[in-house]
Amino acid sequence: MMKIDSGLDIKQEPGHYTEKMPALFIGHGSPMNIILKNDFTRSLRELGRNLPEPQAIMVISAHWLTDGSYVTCMDKPRTIHDFYGFPEELYQVNYPSPGASNYAESAIKSTIKAKIECNKDWGLDHASWAVLKHMYPEADIPVFEMSLDYSFNDWHPKSLDYHYQLASELVGLREKGVLIIGSGNLVHNLQMIDYNIDAQPFDWALEFDEKVKFNLLRGNHEDLIHFENMGTAASYAIPTLDHYLPLIYVIALQGEDEPLKFTYEGFQHGSISMRGFQVG
């Protein structure tokens, strides 16, 4: 790894929680992080220990792309091994957390501008459980997942504006004890990947990562939404929107003057930024 620098019964109707939960963006990187012990996975363990205990967790997943927006509403979400060609050990790992259908229904009720629907078929893909396995290894906190409406996957600016507005309507979940995690990577180019996990980051990857960091620290959501304003490096860093969109959801959940801090900074495979941050 190359570095750069319990509460409510889950059957009850969710109510207001005594402490507003933070929201997180986590760069989850390679599925190999499921079994690796490195600076990144150690940072996840530390994060899980230091956060207030959530009543439930909602993960906005870069790996669940749908036509429309959905949340998982099952009591026992299955562990989805949505990766190929990795060591057999990874396919033996499961994350048997309970579901959180009541909180999922609360998410559905909270939105006006966009319709969210229940899904009882999906489960938890590795954008969720590969991270939660390190943060909450006991798998005892209810988890549900939210998809990305990828019918808005063109490069017109309205695409990210739509997701930002949708996410802003979910902020009330934080007051109900829900830890919201956007799981993707702000730099994610698999076409240019170096199979050495500790490879030197590409110059364009470093450049874009630093520009995003600059805008996050200044609360400049406009340039983060219209990332094409950050120069030609953006086209290499974001060849597709899927891994960048979870970041848009998390900044939309940031309150006025709410602090932001980085939970991890670093790269894997030269073209994947592992940068994570916390608001609140």
How far apart are the C-alpha atoms of 223 and 157, rounded to whole Å?
11
Residue with tokens 């938890």, as numbered in its chain: 124
How far apart are the C-alpha atoms of 208 and 191, rounded to whole Å?
17
Which residue in 123, 119, 75, 81 sits closest to 100, CA to CA? Answer: 75
Q: What is the largest CA-CA distance in the chain?
A: 51
pTM: 0.92
Cβ neighbourhood burial of 78 (10 Å; 0-12, 13-18, 19+): middle
> For 249-267, b where at least 16 C-beta lie within 10 A, e where not — what string?
bbbbbbeeeeebeebbbbb
Write out the two tokens for 276: 């994570």
- Res 2 pLDDT > 50: no
**Cα atoms in the Cβ-side hemisphere of radius 13 Å centred on 90:** 19
Look at residue 154 in the predicted model and tell me its pLDDT.
52
H/E stretch holding 42: helix 39-50
Residue with tokens 């009591």, as numbered in its chain: 75
When pLDDT is cut at 50, 70 and 90, the band that residue 4 belongs to is very low
H-assigned helices in 122-259: 126-135, 158-168, 203-217, 221-225, 233-237, 245-252
Interval 51-109: pLDDT, tens: 999 999 999 999 999 999 999 999 999 999 999 999 999 999 999 999 999 999 999 99
When pLDDT is cut at 50, 70 and 90, the band that residue 5 belongs to is very low
- Whether residue 79 contacts residue 94, with contact meaning beta carbons closer than 8 Å, is answered with yes
Please state the rounded mean pLDDT for residues 251-263.
Answer: 95
Look at residue 250 in the predicted model and tell me its pLDDT.
98
Task: Give the dihedral sign, CA 122/102/113/166.
Answer: negative
DSSP state of 84: -
List domains and CATH numbers for the chain. 2-279 (3.40.830.10)
How far apart are the C-alpha atoms of 253 and 172, rounded to whole Å?
9
How far apart are the C-alpha atoms of 115 and 101, rounded to whole Å?
17
- The residues, any chain, with a CB within 8 Å of residue 256's CB and separated by 6 or more, are none
Interval 193-252: pLDDT, tens: 999 999 999 999 999 999 999 999 999 999 999 999 899 999 999 999 999 999 999 999
